[in-house]
Amino acid sequence: MTEWYLEPAREPDEALREQAQARQDNLTKPKGSLGRLEDVAVQLSALQGTLTPRVDKPLIAVFAGDHGVAAEGVSAYPQLVTAEMVRNFANGGAAISVLAKQLKAQFSVVNVGTVYAIEDLPNVVDRRVGAGTQNMCVTEAMTREQCLEAFDVGRDTLDGADDINIFLGGEMGIANSTSAAALAVAHTRLSATAMVGRGTGINEQGMAKKAAVVTRAMSRHLPHMKDGVETLRRIGGFEICALVGAYVRAAQNGVAVLVDGYICTAAAISAVKVNPSIRPWLFFSHCSAEPGHKRLLNKMDAEPLLELDLRLGEGSGAAVALPVMQTACLLQNEMASFEQAGVSRGND
């Protein structure tokens, strides 16, 4: 029997894409004058099978998990911060909490694997696969069973949502930018130096150390990365694997995905490696200040909607970009055509 995460997502409706493009070309504006907004609306039309696409019912889910590679001293913060930030999410004090409220989004935080146990909190779902991953410089980050269990956490998060049409994933986990950099190296075969960034705010010396850690991990694992699942279990994180499961399930459920920053993009390219059919369902919110992010976006042939030098994570960049997608839909859905407005056409 085929594993659920390998089941293909629905392909875009190319006839609807052509109709949506024709509608864009007939609205009261010069052809192409709304730039990327037109592209977004046309792609959503093809995905949703309608000339009036909508992304007004968002689900935001933040997945949290700790990383054993933190033992290598790659973060400016202790691992305790992961659990503390989960509490902050639940109490409404984090950036993504504020943005989710602004967007009137369904919002949840899912503990997939913090080192420190967390008490019962509102909007926090306890699905711990383990108390953090293992140190990828020493051994595999997780077992295959744990990787697939984390996939299931992402799947269940999507399946448990009510009436959504756009999914925004977020992440929290001390040292997860190191795991993301390793995944980026695995999928691009560029150097660790090209893919590591400041993460939580480390200095130049810290970045050199982080690159060395990623290089060590890759020398151990790269020869054994035979597929997307094996790559994730060796150098991924529980929260990254949950994002992979969520991205795949969203596409399978016919829900568009707005991908956040570097770590979420590392999860997105990993998800595409696991299930290539989901790629048309992925939209990319922004290009972060992490140097490896632009390279990873280029590898995916992805054009982000914004570039604001963000590097917070949590899903915050995706939440900031969602109104841009909503605007793209509104313009296609409600602008008048030349005939409706009684406006003369120009020469093509």
Nearest in space to 180 (alpha carbons), one of 150, 210, 143, 138: 210
Provide mean pLDDT across the span 302-321: 97
Q: What is the pLDDT of residue 198?
A: 87
Q: What is the pLDDT of residue 206?
A: 82
The per-residue b/e assignment along 319-340, b for 16 or more CB within 10 angstroms, e otherwise, is bbbbebbbebbbbbeebeeeee
pTM value > 0.95: yes
Provide mean pLDDT across the span 314-327: 98
| pLDDT grade for 346, boundaries at 50, 70 and 90 | confident
Q: What is the pLDDT of residue 348?
A: 65
User: In this prediction, what percent of the chain has a pLDDT beyond 70?
Assistant: 99
Name the token pair of 191: 């150097």
- Comparing 201 with 102, the larger pLDDT belongs to 102
What's the N-to-C CA distance of the chain in angstroms? 54
Q: Domain extents for the chain?
A: 58-329
58-329 is classed in which CATH architecture? 3-Layer(aba) Sandwich (3.40)
List of E strands, the chain: 58-65, 106-113, 124-126, 166-172, 256-259, 282-284
Q: What is the pLDDT of residue 2?
A: 83
| 175 pLDDT higher than 90 | yes
Give DSSP secondary structure letters for 207-230: HHHHHHHHHHHHHHHGGG--SHHH
| pLDDT grade for 202, boundaries at 50, 70 and 90 | confident
Active site residues: 314
Q: What is the pLDDT of residue 161?
A: 96
Sheet holding 58-65, edge to edge: 124-126, 106-113, 58-65, 166-172, 256-259, 282-284
| Average pLDDT of the residues of the chain | 96
Tens of pLDDT, residue by residue over 44-63, are 999 999 999 999 999 999 99
How do 256-259 and 166-172 pair as beta strands? parallel
DSSP label of 49: T
CA–centroid distance for 124 within its chain? 19
Provide mean pLDDT across the span 204-209: 89
| 204 pLDDT higher than 90 | no
| pLDDT grade for 1, boundaries at 50, 70 and 90 | low
